[in-house]
Amino acid sequence: MKLMEVWVKAPLLRNADILIVSECLKYVNKDIFNTLCKGKVTLTVCPENENPELYGKLASIVRSSNPKSITVVTIEGSPHCFLVHAAINEAAYILGEKIPRKHYVVVNGRELVEITPEAVRVARYLSLVDKLIRKNRDILKELRKLSLEYKRAEKSGDAVLR
């Protein structure tokens, strides 16, 4: 079921373990998608194709349906998918509620990696990310393994830090 098409007070959401997952994951890695869906109410979302009401929708679901937990799973490296992680953190902040939640990314379409809510928070502050990179330039070696954009920037001379 699509996140933006579900009623925020739908009975199936009340006190449920909710999985919010990138719409494309079922095509990227069907096995991970199917495993994650077991025992959870699954809502798919694609911020690239949907309206910007995601923040409000998530906050309304939390307030109206009081889910037991929320798990967010997106594709690593997608700038659009990042929004889903930020939106659930923002919902907790706006509502002033402790929402049991977990954040995961799927790396290279194969590996499910848990990330902390703090990682999402830091990622919103590019000055802090820049400080981290400057203190640990080895992270750029990891980026090279994951990012076609970074590899191209290195080749073209557009990568400032090496």
- Domains along the sequence of the chain with CATH: 3-124 (3.40.50), 126-162 (no CATH)
Q: Report the SS3 class of residue 3.
A: helix
pLDDT of residue 2: 95
Q: Is the pTM of this model over 0.95?
A: no
Let me know if 72 is exposed, middle or buried by CB neighbors in 10 A (0-12, 13-18, 19+): buried
Interval 70-95 mean pLDDT = 94
Pick from 4-8, 53-57, 68-72, 90-94: least confident: 53-57
Q: Measured between alpha carbons, how far is residue 155 from residues 108, 134, 135, 147 in Å?
A: 21, 20, 23, 13
pLDDT of residue 54: 85
Note the pLDDT tens digit of each residue in 136-145.
999 999 999 9
- Beta partners for residue 69, in sequence order: 17
Let me know if 53 is exposed, middle or buried by CB neighbors in 10 A (0-12, 13-18, 19+): exposed
Question: What is the chain's mean pLDDT, rounded?
Answer: 94
pLDDT of residue 162: 60
Instruction: DSSP letter for 95, please.
Output: H
Query: Residue with structure tokens 């954009």?
Result: 149
Note the pLDDT tens digit of each residue in 102-136.
999 999 999 999 999 999 999 999 999 999 999 99
